[in-house]
Structure formats: structure tokens, C-alpha cells
């Protein structure tokens, strides 16, 4: 269960972003998590709630996009998406594949930010 | 007034901070000419026994040291100290894995340039260490014959972050009817091309081959670093 550590790192990034924008409220953080990143989405969601408690991120959402593993198949000479982490085999030609080109992501890609605009005179 | 939230693109690696420290460590190790090898496995797979043997066998010819991570207790460090090489314990408390900064902090006061090999034993866990780069050059994943042949299929991610698989406790293989061919096939299914070695820390079988691998891996990387 290292998802809490991951959640704390995300929280830091969100707080940095908020500080850069004069304390604007971050209401959601969008992530991309590769199947080979070693992070479980559900566990991360509950860790996120815990990590955000009593911070300005409390009540914010995590929006997770799961990224499948893509490999380069030398026989097909093309990228292929793996059906299973348990078998590094080209889904088309059934040859062994080892070159991973996608699926290790553990990235923040976007944040939803509420910036209060006080227009003069309003 | 507060409008609807705006979606702002922010591209950041979540473990950026760890990766920066790991990169700095790796560079420092390369500059110092020390070959850094980490070990991951489930608890009880024989990491400490294997490491103790390795340290004892390397000590006459090389300058070696070890860092050992554990949730609690300094038992492993005490065991490894029997090999008479410098050993430091990293007690992680409740943390289930080592991070690069822990390795950096544990090294404080050690001149790594005075070492040929540094071993880092991660916390016994086949899940969490897979997300963290700790600056090592070579990562071993250990699998003992008593754990069953299907471990690689259950934990493909950790096998994917490792460079070499070591099957331990081979002296027990027959007693537990370990199917070596099946274990090999499962490793190759999740990580095609991964080298696999078989050892027994108890009777020493396979240790010679492992040490040979280690020495040539170090030589090869040093050559590569200088070319």
C-alpha cells in the first residue's frame, strides 16, 4: 500500500500549482496511470481523501485515466496493445514482445482550478 | 464571482521528486565507480541470506557495503554484519518501500568512491518498490522455490522493473516439488528475455555463477561509462 505516498506527492503538486496561481482552489486533479506503474486506482482514490483532509484540497476529485500497456512488435513492425500483463505476447502474431512503449505513466496531466475573478466595480 | 472551474493542463510526473534524487544518486555512483545493486522480493524469500553469502564471498576481492531497508528491527543489519562488511539499516517505520531520498540520507558520511559494490536490500514487498527508482544500476528480483512457480504472473509489475531474476532456496526445490521449467516459463511470459539464475545460499550452489555475472556486469558498465 504505497498509494498514500503517491497521494501525498500529488497533493504537493496540486498545492504548488495553487500557490503559483495566488491560492486558487484546485477542485480536481486528472491523472494518467499506466498498467505497469504499480499503482491501484481504487486504493489511490481512498488515499486521496485521506491525504486531502484538512488541506485546501479537501473535497477535491481525482480523475484517473488508466493507460494500457503498448508494446512494439518487431514481427508486425507496429505498436500493439497488450491484452494481459501476464503475457507479453503480440495479440496479433503471438510472438514474444518486450519493448514497452506505453504503460509506465504516473503523471498529473491537468487540474481543474477555480479562480475567483473580482472585476472592478462589481 | 467564482465561475466554473477551468481545466488547466499541468504535465508533471507524480514521482518527479523521487526521480530527480534517484538520477542524482545514479550519477554520483557512476562518477564514484561503485556498482549499485538492489534486491526486491516478498518477505521471507531469502534476500538477507543471499546477500550475506554474496557479501562474504565478495569481501576478499572487492570493497563492499550494504544498506538494508526494513519496516522495523535491525535484525537484518545485524545478520549482514557477520559478513564483516559495513552495513547500515534503513528503518522505514510504516513505509512499505525505499525511496531515493532514504538511500541518499542513509549514505551520509560514507565515501562511496571507496567502494566497488554497494548493495541495497529493499523492504520485503513485491508491490510497492516497483514504483520507486532508488538510483541502482542493477535490480534483482528474488523468488524462492517455496513461494510457487506462479509468483511472476501475480506480480508482473515488479518483474518488469527488475533486470535479473534469482530463484533462491534451490536446496529445497525437490522437497517442495518446485517446477523449475514452469517458473522459468512464467518469468519469460511477463518479462521476455530476462536472465534467470538459481542459487542456494545454504549449500552455495549457483553462487559462483552469480558472482561471475556480477563481476562482468560491473566491468561491462564501467567500460560503457568510460566510452
Please determine, for residue B227, whether its predicted confidence score (pLDDT) is greater than 80.
no
A114: Cβ contacts below 8 Å, ≥ 6 apart: A24, A25, A26, A27, B2, B3, B4, B5, B6
Find the CB nearest B131 among A2, A28, A86: A2
Whether the CB-CB separation of A106 and B14 falls below 8 Å is answered with yes
The gap between the terminal CA atoms of chain B, to the nearest Å, is: 62
Distance, in angstroms, between A120 CA and closest chain B CA?
A: 11
Domain presence at residue A35: yes
Neighbours of B78 (CB within 10 A): 12
Residue B167 pLDDT grade (very low, low, confident, very high; cuts 50, 70, 90): very high
Domain presence at residue A95: no
CATH at A26? 3.30.2320.50
Tell me the backbone φ, ψ of residue A102, rounded to 5 degrees.
-160, 145
Please determine, for residue A73, whether its predicted confidence score (pLDDT) is greater than 60.
yes
Residue B95 is predicted with a pLDDT of 84
Residue B133 is predicted with a pLDDT of 96
Q: Rounded to whole angstroms, what are the CA distances from A40 to A59, A91, A103?
A: 20, 24, 13
Give the count of domains, chain A: 1
Average pLDDT rounded to a whole number, residues A6-16:
96
Domain presence at residue A120: no
Domains of chain B: 17-222 (3.40.50.300)
Say whether A49 sits in a helix, a strand or coil.
helix
Distance, in angstroms, between B140 CA and closest chain A CA?
A: 17
Domain presence at residue A26: yes
Please determine, for residue A122, whether its predicted confidence score (pLDDT) is greater than 50.
no
Domain presence at residue A77: no
Residue A93, chain B, CB below 8 Å: the answer is no
Residues of chain A with Cβ-Cβ distance to B11 below 8 Å are 107-109
The residue range of the domain holding A25 is: 3-68+102-114
Q: Rounded to whole angstroms, what are the CA distances from A103 to A71, B110, B157, B194?
A: 9, 37, 11, 19
Give tens-digit pLDDT for B32-84: 999 999 999 999 999 999 999 999 999 999 999 999 998 888 888 888 888 88
% of chain A residues with pLDDT over 70:
94
**DSSP assignment of B7-48, as one string?**
EEEEEEETTHHHHHHHHHHHHHHHHHT-EEEEEE--TTSSHH
Amino acid at each position: 500500500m504505497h498509494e498514500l505516498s503517491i497521494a501525498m506527492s500529488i497533493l504537493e503538486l496540486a498545492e504548488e500549482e495553487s500557490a503559483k496561481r495566488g491560492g486558487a482552489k484546485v477542485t480536481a486533479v486528472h491523472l494518467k496511470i499506466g498498467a505497469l506503474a504499480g499503482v491501484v486506482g481504487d486504493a489511490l482514490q481512498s488515499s486521496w481523501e485521506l491525504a486531502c483532509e484538512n488541506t485546501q484540497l479537501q473535497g477535491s476529485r481525482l480523475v484517473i485515466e488508466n493507460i494500457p500497456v503498448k508494446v512494439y512488435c518487431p514481427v508486425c513492425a507496429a505498436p500493439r496493445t497488450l491484452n494481459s500483463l501476464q503475457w507479453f505476447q503480440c495479440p496479433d502474431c503471438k510472438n514474444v514482445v518486450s519493448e514497452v512503449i506505453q504503460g509506465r505513466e504516473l503523471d498529473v496531466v491537468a487540474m481543474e482550478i477555480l479562480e475567483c475573478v473580482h472585476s472592478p466595480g462589481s | 464571482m467564482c465561475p466554473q472551474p477551468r481545466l488547466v493542463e499541468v504535465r508533471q510526473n507524480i514521482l518527479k521528486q523521487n526521480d530527480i534524487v534517484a538520477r542524482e544518486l545514479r550519477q554520483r555512483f557512476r562518477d564514484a565507480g561503485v556498482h549499485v545493486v538492489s534486491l526486491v522480493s516478498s518477505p521471507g524469500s531469502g534476500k538477507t541470506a543471499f546477500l550475506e553469502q554474496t557479501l562474504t564471498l565478495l569481501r576478499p576481492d572487492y570493497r563492499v557495503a550494504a544498506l538494508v531497508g526494513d519496516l522495523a528491527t535491525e535484525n537484518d543489519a545485524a545478520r549482514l554484519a557477520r559478513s564483516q562488511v559495513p552495513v547500515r539499516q534503513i528503518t522505514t517505520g510504516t513505509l512499505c518501500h525505499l525511496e531515493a531520498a532514504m538511500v541518499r540520507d542513509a549514505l551520509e558520511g560514507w565515501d562511496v568512491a571507496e567502494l566497488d559494490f554497494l548493495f541495497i536490500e529493499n523492504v520485503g514487498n513485491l508491490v510497492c518498490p516497483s514504483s520507486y527508482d532508488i538510483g541502482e544500476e542493477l535490480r534483482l528480483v528474488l523468488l524462492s522455490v517455496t513461494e510457487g512457480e506462479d509468483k511472476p504472473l501475480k506480480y508482473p509489475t515488479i518483474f518488469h522493473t527488475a533486470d535479473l531474476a534469482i530463484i533462491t532456496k534451490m536446496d529445497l526445490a525437490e522437497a517442495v516439488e518446485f517446477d523449475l521449467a514452469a517458473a522459468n516459463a512464467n518469468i519469460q511470459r511477463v518479462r521476455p528475455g530476462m536472465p534467470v539464475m538459481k542459487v542456494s545460499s545454504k549449500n552455495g550452489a549457483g553462487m559462483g555463477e552469480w558472482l561471475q555475472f556480477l563481476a562482468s556486469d560491473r566491468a561491462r558498465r564501467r567500460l560503457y561509462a568510460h566510452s
